[in-house]
Amino acid sequence: DVRHGSILYLEDVSVSFDGFKAINNLNLTIDDGELRCIIGPNGAGKTTMMDIITGKTRPDTGSVWFGSRHNLLTMNEPDIASLGIGRKFQKPTVFEALTVFENLELAMATDKRVLPTLTSRLAGEDLDRIDEVLTLIGLKRLKDREAGILSHGQKQWLEIGMLLMQKPRLLLVDEPVAGMTEQEMERTAELLTSLAGKQSVVVVEHDMGFVRSIARKVTVLHQGSVLAEGSMDQVSNDPEVVKVYLGE
């Protein structure tokens, strides 16, 4: 019973830690090419939900499907990643001593399961992909600079670029604009909206202004379940949502 046209489908998912239900009958459908924002107060279950999707945490009950064919609950973390699910954690983890270009090259090499030989000649299509990603993340001009000299925002974009090298079908992004300047936030909004359509993107974010600027559809998590879903205007006017946020 899997929904067509969706890339990710969680049905009645629950998980408890020491008897505490962190995720409680969660139902979530992400469409192909969609950009979805997940919001909710601290402890709502957002991180646990991401951990379940990537296979880091196994739910006690429910089902998790990727596309219409892949039952993620039968798969381990590396196999789930190789289906095309990329996760970007909050802190950037680029290789500071390597150049921007080399970071992207390395990210591609991992995908091919070969040891990265940074001096080897790249095939034309690989160079094209790196070029394409450099343009997307706005770092073409800095491609031969060491990643260590990049600003916080630029490092975040580079890390998104590294995930893009593997052509993911679903990108999970954890608080992308934390610590960014206003200008970097605008650039990040452009980047994430430009990715949607080509791949599905799920963003967990606390900054409501940023969520409003990118999301067509927002899911509000509370106590491990979906409290509300809809446009930012719809959910922010929902009395239940207002109560949860004011009561925090």
Question: Using CB under 6 A as the criterion, which residues of the chain lie in contact with ligand ADP when the complex forms?
Answer: 17-18, 22, 40, 42-48
Closest CA to 199 of 6, 14, 34: 34
Of 161 and 224, the one with the shorter C-beta distance to ligand ADP is: 224
- Which tokens sit at 151? 């600003």
- Which tokens sit at 130? 């790196």
Closest CA to 224 of 35, 57, 70: 57
Of 92 and 224, the one with the shorter C-beta distance to ligand ADP is: 224
Q: Give min distance, CB of 144 to ligand ADP, in A.
A: 38
Q: Give min distance, CB of 102 to ligand ADP, in A.
A: 33
Q: Which long-range contacts does 194-197 make (Cβ < 8 Å, 24+ apart)?
A: 194/136, 195/35, 195/136, 195/164, 195/171, 196/33, 196/34, 196/35, 197/33
Rg from Cα positions in the chain: 19
Of 19 and 124, the one with the shorter C-beta distance to ligand ADP is: 19
Of 142 and 235, the one with the shorter C-beta distance to ligand ADP is: 235
Q: Count Cβ atoms below 10 Å from residue 52 Cβ, excluding itself.
A: 24
Q: What are the φ and ψ backbone dihedral angles of 184, each rounded to 5 degrees? A: -65, -35
Q: Give min distance, CB of 200 to ligand ADP, in A.
A: 20
DSSP state of 127: H
Of 52 and 232, the one with the shorter C-beta distance to ligand ADP is: 52
Query: In whole angstroms, what is the distance from residue 24 CA to residue 223 CA?
Result: 7
Q: Give min distance, CB of 89 to ligand ADP, in A.
A: 12
Q: Which H or E run includes 144?
A: none
Q: Give min distance, CB of 49 to ligand ADP, in A.
A: 7
Of 16 and 29, the one with the shorter C-beta distance to ligand ADP is: 16
Q: Give min distance, CB of 43 to ligand ADP, in A.
A: 4
Of 77 and 96, the one with the shorter C-beta distance to ligand ADP is: 77
Q: Give min distance, CB of 226 to ligand ADP, in A.
A: 13
Report H helices in 64-151.
77-82, 100-111, 124-137
